[in-house]
Structure 1
Amino acid sequence: MTDDSATDDPLAWETLDSAVAYSCPGFDVRNEDVRLPDGTETDFDYLDEAPSVVVLPFTPDGEVVVIEEWRQAVRRVNRSLPVGGMEPEDEDRAAAARRELREETGHEADSVEFLTSVEPANGVANSLLHFFVARGCTPTAEQELNHNESIRVDTTTLDELREHVAEREIRDGRTTLGLLYYEAFGTETDE
């Protein structure tokens, strides 16, 4: 999401040139030549990636569906909520949330509600995360994992998930933020 009025702000940088410096499946590294407000010309690199969805999925019994996935960058199994990039064939963000939930966990939701959107690292990336709460999730499909995904599906209670975040057993920022936002603000249909 860009705000065209931001270019009128005296703090705005002027982009002189932009090119992909490195590309791989999932993201690009973009290099831009920019002019700073004081007239200085320099370059700036950032991670360029498609928006993603993060799903906080509840079973009909109120348990939370979580995944355990190997994360090579930190060399350990990461316990988290289902997360994935939006794809061109997704009709909208909610459809992407339903698809990612099904692909990563084999669960399908009765309903999906928007929670919030955040830019988790806007100093170094244009990443955009759309958070959803999915309810009535039941295992009705097979996992459809990408070639580089190793995922185990589990369920836990909301209290246990909260405790694992509080005790720093879950270090995944997307999971922590999604849980904390849900706990603080809920969704429109929450009492």
Structure 2
Amino acid sequence: MDDGDDLAWETTDSAIDYTCPGFDVRRDDVTLPDGTDTDYHYVDESPAVVVLPFTPAGDVIVIEEWRQAVGRVNRGLPAGSVEDGDTDLATAARRELREETGYEADSMTHLCTVEPTNGIANSVHHHFVARGCTPTAARDLDFNESIRVDTADYDALLAAAVDGGLRDGRAVLALSQFELRHTAGATGSTPAKK
């Protein structure tokens, strides 16, 4: 952060107001640029990894999971929090892919890092592309995860991201970044069948 920026807020105190599995709600006492003292609440959570996994044939491994906040089954990509024992982000991405889908990847490549909702959360999502994914591992779901695993044709999934049929923000972002990099001619970024 650039503390010298005339838009910067000064944090004078910070505390956790609420804790639950997966995230906290943090309250910062702040002084605004005009000198006003106030507070600001936001979701405080661990960094996460999101995996865009391709089978050797070029299909995408997708998950379907109940999402209580929107009251429906959500189609998306394997994702999860970076844990203390993860030696690096690629290790976390491999673990989440294995735990949620039972697939193992031949390779894992960083795609992009984003702050998806930095107006209300300090979340940082690290997106990866996994290649050569085959079903070789046992799944290990968290206690509150109910996940169905499927595969999808890449072009059909991309079309769903464009036409609104795919609503999961992490999945739409991963597909969009992947497609933009492929279209721009980035090497090593295309699915097997493209």
- TM-score (norm. length: structure 2): 0.93
Which of residues 87, 103, 119 is equivalent to 2:83? 87
Deviation, 1:57, is 0.2
Tell me which residue corresponds to 2:97: 101
1:52-90 per-residue CA deviation (whole Å, 9 max, x = no partner) reads 011000011111100000111111110101111110001
Which of residues 5, 9, 25 is equivalent to 2:5? 9
Find the residue that maps to 1:8 and give its secondary structure: coil
Which moved further from structure 2: 162-171 or 51-60?
162-171
For 2:189 and 2:113, the matched residues in 1 are separated by 18
What aligned pairs does 1:6-155 form with structure 2 within 5 A after superposition? Answer: 6-155=2-151
Find the residue that maps to 1:122 and give its secondary structure: coil
Letter in 1 for 2:152: T
Deviation, 1:170, is 1.1
Deviation, 1:167, is 2.6
Are 2:105 and 2:131, in contact at CA under 8 Å, matched by a contact in 1? Answer: yes
Structure 2 gaps, min length 5 = none
Deviation, 1:11, is 1.2
Number of aligned residues: 187
Letter in 2 for 1:89: G
Are 2:60 and 2:152, in contact at CA under 8 Å, matched by a contact in 1? Answer: yes
Tell me which residue corresponds to 1:190: 189
Which moved further from structure 2: 166-175 or 52-61?
166-175
Letter in 2 for 1:86: V
Find the residue that maps to 1:116 and give its secondary structure: strand
2:158 aligned with 1:159: no
For 2:126 and 2:70, the matched residues in 1 are separated by 24
**What is the RMSD of the two structures over their aligned residues, measured on CA atoms?**
1.1
Find the residue that maps to 1:74 and give its secondary structure: coil
Find the residue that maps to 2:3 and give its secondary structure: helix
Letter in 2 for 1:140: T
Deviation, 1:169, is 1.5
Find the residue that maps to 1:152 and give its secondary structure: strand
2:170 aligned with 1:171: no
